[in-house]
């Protein structure tokens, strides 16, 4: 561009070329362009490149981007979750473990969760103390002053018999939250609750 037209490429030109290469599936070339031009090395660019890799099933530069992200002093949690999902879908558990970081977060259980659980116990579960699959939500925050947040809502529990429908509900994704699968150990007595061994349960879920 500079040799033929006497123009120095600006950020807009480089970003446009990165987008064209990524959308065409040339993820490695898009990554090389980022490395060798004035495109900023920030979370937006890394997230865009990772997204192109997911779309085209091309994980070429993923490992290098992962190393860049995880060596940051304050890595973007949204990118960490995206990397975890990429490695987990490819069953690359070792790399997934390298990305996984334990960070402080606040958890909250909505009042409606307890109401629904009580209703399930009365109308469906009875004395059945089998574990229950639940789905919470985790909302990472890029600001260090604000804690990451994990929430359990009424919808986290399975539906009651009266709510069963032949038409599955429409799922609307939220890029600011991710689903967290878990298990609720449903005990009927205080003695049974105290008898649960946390370490044994955690090992059983690995």
- Give the whole-angstrom CA distance, residue 96 versus residue 83: 7
pLDDT of residue 104: 55
- 8 Å CB contact between 173 and 108: no
pLDDT tens digits, residue range 46-81?
A: 888 888 888 887 777 787 877 777 666 566 667 777
Strands (E), the chain: 105-109, 132-139, 148-152, 178-184
pLDDT tens digits, residue range 132-161?
A: 888 888 776 655 555 567 788 888 888 766
> pLDDT band at 6, cuts 50/70/90?
low
Domains defined for the chain, CATH in brackets: 2-99 (no CATH), 105-161+173-204 (3.40.140.70)
The stretch 4-22 carries a mean pLDDT of 78
In angstroms, the first-to-last Cα distance of the chain is 53
Instruction: Indicate whether 170 pLDDT > 50.
Output: no
- 8 Å CB contact between 158 and 133: yes
pLDDT of residue 171: 47
Q: Among the listed ranges 51-60, 84-93, 98-107, 168-177, which one has the minimum average pLDDT value?
A: 168-177
Q: What mean pLDDT is reported for the chain?
A: 75
Strand order in the sheet with 148-152: 105-109, 148-152, 132-139, 178-184
Instruction: Indicate whether 86 pLDDT > 70.
Output: yes
pLDDT of residue 173: 47
Pairing of strands 132-139, 148-152: antiparallel
Cα 172 to the center of its chain, rounded Å: 15
């Amino acid at each position: 561009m500079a040799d033929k037209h006497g123009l120095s490429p600006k950020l807009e030109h480089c970003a446009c070329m990165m987008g064209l290469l990524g959308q065409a599936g040339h993820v490695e070339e898009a990554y090389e362009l980022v490395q060798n031009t004035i495109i900023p090395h920030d979370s937006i660019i890394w997230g865009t490149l990772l997204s192109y890799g997911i779309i085209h099933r091309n994980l070429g530069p993923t490992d290098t981007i992962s190393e860049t992200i995880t060596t940051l002093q304050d890595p973007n949690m949204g990118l960490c979750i995206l990397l975890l999902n990429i490695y987990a879908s490819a069953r690359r558990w070792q790399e997934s473990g390298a990305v996984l970081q334990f960070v402080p977060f606040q958890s909250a259980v909505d009042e409606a969760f307890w109401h629904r659980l009580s209703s399930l116990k009365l109308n469906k579960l009875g004395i059945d103390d089998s574990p229950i699959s639940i789905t919470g939500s985790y909302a990472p925050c890029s600001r260090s002053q604000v804690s990451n947040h994990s929430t359990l809502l009424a919808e986290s529990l399975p539906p009651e018999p009266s709510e069963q429908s032949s038409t599955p509900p429409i799922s609307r994704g939220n890029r600011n939250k991710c689903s967290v699968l878990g298990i609720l150990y449903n005990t009927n007595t205080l003695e049974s609750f105290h008898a649960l061994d946390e370490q044994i349960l955690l090992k059983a879920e690995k």
